[in-house]
Structure 1
């Protein structure tokens, strides 16, 4: 059976990804900051572990407790506290990057020894179309109205680090997913997509075989040109 770790798995996209991958036959380990608030993900049949992507000790303890791992879904993320220029400062930028970018590095680096033992190791980093400059400048795109600098910059970094990890780990499938404008707590449930639609790309990338793509960015419609 495929063993999968999903960060930020107790709500929104993480919860739905957990549900769908369990349905697909994966043994899912749900990484959550507060296991006392993980009843919904437990009810799906996932194993719950404490994992705070901003805390190196928490990440190390969590990954040390896992005996094997085939798929890592770096889903945990925050919208951040700065939504324009007037409320932006260095702390707001640093806090967003610490979760959305450095958090992926913490978890991925800790997971690599386990993934290297898998016969089909996969990493999926949940990014966003707001990480694409050309989307942010296109009035026809959902991303166009977004004014947040930290969130957009963090997701651009996720896309780039995905490409670089893929180059460094040719034996693995390493890709990034774009959920699209999905109704979750991050956007006060204003998105026009359901969480099922928002997890289509992540689930597809998490279930690749060894002939699948790597170093790519995918939405539910397919590959996005970088």
Structure 2
């Protein structure tokens, strides 16, 4: 059984997820690199280890019950507990996503990964998290999940293109996270939502203006909150994001 702080980051083979793993590893933590692509996962683990991170691969498809159960068992066998879970894996799927034109299959696929995947992984890892002295859950959200910003008429209040699958998936993720926070109130488990900002990743065709490392910073902040810290918050580097 490991006495080191152990984290699992989903979708950690590239982009923001990789940088989160790198940042947590720099703290001396053991980091599980969750990813469904075998080659990319192995390459990410090798790169992280070369950078001095105690990284290990976790085969993980967040849309598959058996895969998630196997991932929980792998961590059980390796470390006996989990201290931090970062639910980072997400997809945008095909664009554009105008409501009058979207294929329902696109909507279903995005929700399966971005919302149900988070529920599936969180619940599978919960027994391991409960063994930690200071468990933390970070759900990577987005400013596009803010109904305030989506409904604003001023340019500074609007955010992103019309995306009837992706944007509501983040709104729903926020709502789901709040329900977890309510259930876990009074326990030592803190669960929060982090907004990375408009990061250049393959999800947006690398049009973002922030680097993956900049986007990862909020997740690292939330993963390292002290005991008694906030829970159920929706924040970015600048502070609270409006709902």
Interval of TM-score (by shorter of Structure 1 and Structure 2): over 0.9
**Post-superposition offset of 1:144:** 2.6
Structure 1 residues 163-217: Cα deviation after superposition (integer angstroms, max 9, x where no partner): 1101111211000001111111111111111112111211100111112100101
- For the 8 Å contact 1:82–1:148, the answer to whether it is kept is yes
Q: Which ranges in structure 2 are unaligned for 5 or more consecutive residues?
A: 50-54
TM-score, normalising length: structure 1: 0.95
Match of 2:130 in 1: 116
Structure 1 counterpart of 2:159, from 116, 141, 144? 144
Structure 2 counterpart of 1:197, from 214, 219, 224? 214
Match of 2:52 in 1: none
Match of 1:174 in 2: 191
Change (3 A) 1:118 1:193: same
- How many residues align? The count is 226
Structure 1 counterpart of 2:240, from 207, 223, 226? 223
1:101 and 1:164 map into 2 onto residues whose CA distance is 13
**Post-superposition offset of 1:72:** 0.3
2:44 and 2:128 map into 1 onto residues whose CA distance is 27
2:46 and 2:229 map into 1 onto residues whose CA distance is 31
Q: How does 1:50-199 map to 2 (within 5 A)?
A: 50-66=59-75, 67-85=80-98, 86-138=100-152, 139-141=154-156, 144-170=159-185, 171=187, 172-199=189-216
Find the residue that maps to 1:156 and give its secondary structure.
helix
Q: Which ranges in structure 1 are unaligned for 5 or more consecutive residues?
A: none
Match of 1:11 in 2: 14
2:97 and 2:223 map into 1 onto residues whose CA distance is 34
Change (3 A) 1:179 1:142: farther
2:39 and 2:162 map into 1 onto residues whose CA distance is 34
Match of 2:29 in 1: 26
Find the residue that maps to 2:17 and give its secondary structure.
helix
**Post-superposition offset of 1:152:** 0.6
What is the RMSD of the two structures over their aligned residues, measured on CA atoms?
Answer: 1.4
TM-score, normalising length: structure 2: 0.89
Residue 211 of structure 1 pairs with residue 224 of structure 2: no
Structure 1 residues 70-106: Cα deviation after superposition (integer angstroms, max 9, x where no partner): 0000000001224232540221111100000000011
